[in-house]
Amino acid sequence: MDHDLLRGTCPACQVTIGEMHADDCDVAECLMRGLKRMYCRALADTAGHDCGASTWTGGWPGHREAREFGWHVRWDAEARTWARCAPEVPGSGPDLNRLYEHARWNAEARRWVRRWAVVFLRAVRGGRAGSRPRR
């Protein structure tokens, strides 16, 4: 099982773990929406929310969750397209599009959660939520 290796510094603004990203860092996530802070800045109207001061956590925002949910993609050279695959597949990367579309940002926990997680958890009552059939 390979774990995400922690990166000591932000690849964009070089701050170390636990430090606040530089103001113009394009890795920094918006603490309200979970998307890149740059996306918020690019919008004409960001009134009503403060993107907050996110810190470098040792990994790219969203990558850990994508791996946790099993949402990876790999480049299919023959089909010339991205194909969904398991995180274990060598050369695969996190499917952030899927994450942004199908997960929900939990601002309190500062992480992405699956949209249906709450309903599902209630349904199985402390069961094996999140476990996936073995491939």
Residues that bind Zn ion (CB under 5 A): 10, 12-13, 21, 25, 27, 30, 32, 40, 51
CB 108, min distance to Zn ion, A: 15
CA gap 31, 24 in Å, rounded: 15
If the CB atoms of residues 107 and 117 are measured against Zn ion, the closer one turns out to be: 107
If the CB atoms of residues 32 and 107 are measured against Zn ion, the closer one turns out to be: 32
If the CB atoms of residues 10 and 85 are measured against Zn ion, the closer one turns out to be: 10
CB 90, min distance to Zn ion, A: 27
CA gap 6, 55 in Å, rounded: 14
Environment class of 117 (CB within 10 Å of its CB; exposed 0-12, middle 13-18, buried 19+): middle
CB 77, min distance to Zn ion, A: 32
Task: List Cα–Cα distances, 19 to 15, 16, 112, in angstroms.
Answer: 6, 6, 21
